[in-house]
Amino acid sequence: MQIANAVIIVTGASAGIGQACATALAQHGAHVIAVARRQERLQALIHSLPGQHAIYAGDISDPATMPAVVALALAQFGHLDAIICNAGVGLSMPIAQLQWPEVVQCMNVNVGGVLASIQAVLPHFFIKKAGAIVVISSVVGVRALPYNGGYAASKGALERLCEALRVELRGSGVTLTVVRPGTVQSEFFQQRLGAHHDIRRAGTLGIPASQVAQTIITALTRHPRVLYTRWQDRLVLWGNALMPWLADSILAHTIDWQPDERSNPS
């Protein structure tokens, strides 16, 4: 796939990975359809990018959003070449305290929103017998972290959805790549659902969102099945597959939970 002059939808484009991806794609000559809930952020982004682009302010878990985004892309540019399914929401809470409404909200965005995005673009891709789908999953979609089980469950469900879809797309001309970032420098952790007070003794600053954006560029040009942003993340998953008991022990000693004091008044 040639990125120059390609029309590419990027969901969750107002911050973090999505914003970095939109910027990188524009620098490579693509026309970006930037999708997110915060219109003012999208407008600021679009004014900073070289070239011609479009924005759509909406929630991807709303069934009306993604069909409207595809219609906007086709009306403004006449074609659509790829979609980056990046929008998502975090959830941090011990399983014993996890609230089902928050799990449903997380699933609605991380699984339902991605499903709606893919279903919106596939009819067009099938007609042209070409198109690229890049889904931003997570390392925790393969190995859950303590106190992040609700979020990991949503990414695990997303991984299985993509696993089935990849087979269904064989012979269609449509490609699917799953990107599994580790910790990324963004506002993601501050915006999580739940009390999000997990304490990490062996914390990491994470990688820049721009590094993930470059991985996404690779996904669009080479179409591998799965991509990691760091070789260390792949190594961690290999180690977990070989010695899961050791991974459990390490995680138990490196991640604790600090209860929200507001919910436990003295």
DSSP for 1-22? ---TT-EEEEESTTSHHHHHHH
Amino acid at residue number 169: L
Catalytic residue numbers, as ranges: 151
Quick one: CA dihedral 100, 257, 184, 180, positive or negative?
Answer: negative
Residue 189 confidence (pLDDT): 67
Domain range summary for the chain, segments of one domain joined by +: 7-263
Q: What is the mean pLDDT of residues 137-142?
A: 95
Query: What percent of the chain shows pLDDT beyond 70?
Result: 91
Distance CA 173, CA 150 (A): 34
Q: Which stretches does DSSP call E strand in the chain?
A: 7-11, 31-36, 54-57, 82-85, 91-92, 131-136, 174-180, 184-185, 193-194, 198-200, 207-208, 226-228, 255-257
Tens of pLDDT along 35-78?
A: 999 999 999 999 999 999 999 999 999 999 999 999 999 999 99
Tens of pLDDT along 162-178?
A: 999 999 999 999 999 99
Q: What is the mean pLDDT of residues 143-155?
A: 94
Closest by CA position to 146, among listed 248, 259, 237: 248
Backbone angles phi, psi at 15, to 5 degrees: -165, 170
Query: What percent of the chain shows pLDDT beyond 90?
Result: 78
Place of tokens 């070989």: 242
Residue 182 pLDDT grade (very low, low, confident, very high; cuts 50, 70, 90): confident
Q: What is the largest CA-CA distance in the chain?
A: 63
- Please tell us whether the domain made up of 7-263 is placed in CATH 3.40.50.720: yes
Residue 264 confidence (pLDDT): 40
Amino acid at residue number 241: A
Residue 183 confidence (pLDDT): 83
